[in-house]
Amino acid sequence: MATSTAFKIVYINDQNIGFHSSHHTRNYPPTPSSSHPPTINMQTQTTLPFACTPRTVRHLMLPPKCVLSVSPPSKVRRTHSMPPEKLEVFRSLEGWAAQSILPMLKPVEKSWQPDSFVPDPSLPFEEFMDEVRALRDRTKELPDEYFLVLVGDMITEEALPTYQTILNSLDGVKDEYGTSPSPWAVWTRAWSAEENRHGDLLRTYLYLSGRVDMKMIEKTIHYLIAAGM
């Protein structure tokens, strides 16, 4: 008996757009009482004839028992992302970064915020609902292709924790303890704060539009951040 699964990036159904996963093909022995494949749950999944590899563990997020069967990583670990001479180049550029890059950051009080572009929740209930209805009236005329772009953009923006983690793993620019005064670290934190607004705005807009399957989108984001890069 076989059941199949593969990650499918996107689907459109009656103006609902979302991301979901089907299954990689797995073969199971037939059971005398049923022609259907066995039910899989978190308690029994690790006992099925499934090849557990670092790739499947990473992307399917299987239970710890399965993770334990993966071969341990090599004892040779990378401790630095660049040789000392290149590290010195980045350090020598800190003064330039402080004078030329950091001034490009806009102060928080002068920056736009997501609430400026969506219905104001502080309004009286009926006024707020009128704004939501107006937003839905506008978005119902948009073609599905527009929402595919918005969903893809939102998912990318919401994986911001992954990008900041990657930057903070690089020698010369990483934030050593979370509040480093290094201009590279200051830039990374400020850039992350600015980028965070994009995901917040897109999520609120898509949620209020009623045109997309938010649960499937949020599950996709969950998988993406958990898988890392």
Claim to verify: residue 134 and residue 219 sit in the same structural domain: yes
Indicate whether 148 belongs to any domain. Answer: yes
Question: Is 46 inside a domain boundary?
Answer: yes
Of all residues in the chain, the percent with pLDDT exceeding 70 is: 65
pLDDT band at residue 172, thresholds of 50, 70 and 90?
A: confident
92 within domain boundaries: no
Q: Are residue 113 and residue 221 in the same domain, yes or no?
A: yes
pLDDT digits (tens, 9 = 90+) for 104-141: 999 999 999 999 999 999 999 999 999 999 999 999 99
Please indicate, yes or no, whether residues 7 and 54 belong to a single structural domain of this protein.
yes
Q: Answer with the residue of higher pLDDT: 83 or 8.
A: 83
Within a domain: 171: yes
Q: Which range has the worst mean pLDDT, 36-45, 62-71, 141-150, 161-170?
A: 36-45
Clarify whether residues 134 and 194 are in a common domain: yes
Q: What is the mean pLDDT of residues 93-98?
A: 94
Confidence of residue 82 (pLDDT cuts 50, 70, 90): confident
Q: Dump the DSSP string for 42-79.
A: TTTGGGSS----HHHHHHH---HHHHTTSPPPPS----
Q: Concatenated DSSP letters for 93-154?
A: THHHHHHHTGGGSPPGGGS--GGGGS--TTS-HHHHHHHHHHHHHHHTTS-HHHHHHHHHHH
- Confirm whether 204 is domain-assigned: yes
**3-class DSSP state of 11:** strand
Q: Provide the domain limits for residue 213.
A: 105-227
- Whether 50 and 128 map to the same domain: the answer is no
Domain count, the chain: 2
Which residue(s) pair with 145 in the sheet? none
Please check whether residue 91 lies inside any domain of the structure.
no
Q: What local confidence, expressed as pLDDT, does residue 207 receive?
A: 97
56 with 110, same domain?
no
pTM of the model: 0.63
Residues 218 and 145 in one domain: yes
Q: What is the pLDDT of residues 140-166, one digit of tens each?
A: 999 999 999 999 999 999 999 999 999
Residue 34 lies in a domain: no
Same structural domain for residues 190 and 111? yes
Same domain (yes/no): 201, 127: yes
Of all residues in the chain, the percent with pLDDT exceeding 90 is 54
Q: Is residue 78 scored above 90 in pLDDT?
A: no
Kindly report which listed range (17-31, 79-93, 203-217) carries the lowest average pLDDT score: 17-31
Tokens representing residue 163 in the block:
């990008």
pLDDT tens-place string over residues 201-211: 999 999 999 99
Give the C-alpha separation, 66 to 149, whole Å. Answer: 36
Same domain (yes/no): 223, 114: yes
164 and 52 share one domain: no
Q: With bands split at pLDDT 50, 70 and 90, how would you rate the model's confidence at 26?
A: very low
- The mean pLDDT of the chain is 77
Residue 146 inside a domain? The answer is yes
Structural contact between residues 171 and 33, judged by C-beta atoms closer than 8 angstroms: no
Clarify whether residues 56 and 128 are in a common domain. no
